[in-house]
Structure 1
């Protein structure tokens, strides 16, 4: 096949003499995408967090987590390409892996970035037809969801990803983009006192920080319990606190095709926003 040169989402050009056959994936949602593109046999290494599809954990080499990888293990797998992500993996990891094989780094904040990644993978791995099928599926679900959400009223929300210390999804994140799409106005989206993508916040001040209508507790990366829900509930006027599937809000790739259905059910669960009357 002809040599191809493709630019990744950091703007780095990669030239492939032939289609990469041995893939190490350092991002759970991208492992799922590779599998959905029909590349299961090309995947040689994954992280311990790559749990979809579940059977890969027993058939592929585990090369560590997303933040600590075993360099020697990866080297021994002789990959043709290593797939990383700007947010999930550190610059140090990426730099040290470049000595082993080309490292393709994705950087995904918007749905457009996500579609770009699927298209790129289709090109790199010679799976254009499969990639296009998934892109069409996502675009169809996306259009349908935009009709669904059109007449919904906006609500103020906070989306928690961690406790001890309490951390939320802020602006410039994929989670925040999906919240916006749902007309969930993230009170920590570029909050003047809490800049940054995943700020640590003072929950005692949640009312003055924006007083959310809904508090979301993500199923990952932190295992929230009822006691966290109760604790957070004490610091809002009237918020409903609910546990949500973090994969639907934070996994990119083909997961987005399923996420829109999930979001519809979430809106059904929440019902109509209530008008609150405070008695002082």
Structure 2
């Protein structure tokens, strides 16, 4: 009997030691990840990306790409930044900015729209451009939506069972909309792995995505150098007074947010350059005197 008790104690001690070893190893791994900032993981940050102080919001490249589409569709319709903020907060609550193919009952996509409720076919709803357009279409029908509390405006469109849930996403949505509508220059950056591993970028694909999100008028004419270059897409920013710089940053941030999807390695505008491995930096060249600039998107080779 004593021998059995001694064996049992040794077994318990062994299990305890093994569990302790696993916990120590896990703690060491988490500490390394914390200290290194897990720099190897792809991520995007909206906010004080220039190194300054201020609140930031981190999201995945996939989420950033969807957010950029939502924003572009809204501004292309001539809607204010507030509309984009409402749309982003709604998508953050409904799908965490992920284009998911499931949900409550027949809900689908970024906004969890339901085919059975007249939002469109499943295929249409799973298209972020279409889904965003339908959301804005309904939002525009809400009288005075830009002056309403975000929860009220979103609920008028969504008719959710949890209308107050949208409120917690408003601060993050405001950061994203400020960057993606171009109001906050160089305030969205993404750290991505080398895109060459997934193959070269396709200029035709980039131009197609631009046209779908912003309308065909966003592109230069077919005979221009920007349209013809194999590894660069150049988008001129038409001189529109004070709105010119904001439009340029809107396009630049759209390109950064969708860089992983479209295999864009470099984006340059207004004397700043973003690259997939280093983020934004100031370009060491003399800027053009013209108020109308060009957003250049360099593709992976």
Q: Same fold (TM over 0.5)?
A: no
Larger Rg: 2
Normalized per residue, the structure richer in strand is 1
* More contact order relative to length (CA 8 Å, sep ≥ 6): 2
Q: Identify the TM-score tier after normalising by the shorter chain.
A: under 0.3
Normalised to the residue count of structure 2, the TM-score between the two structures is: 0.25
Between structures 1 and 2, the one with greater helix share: 2
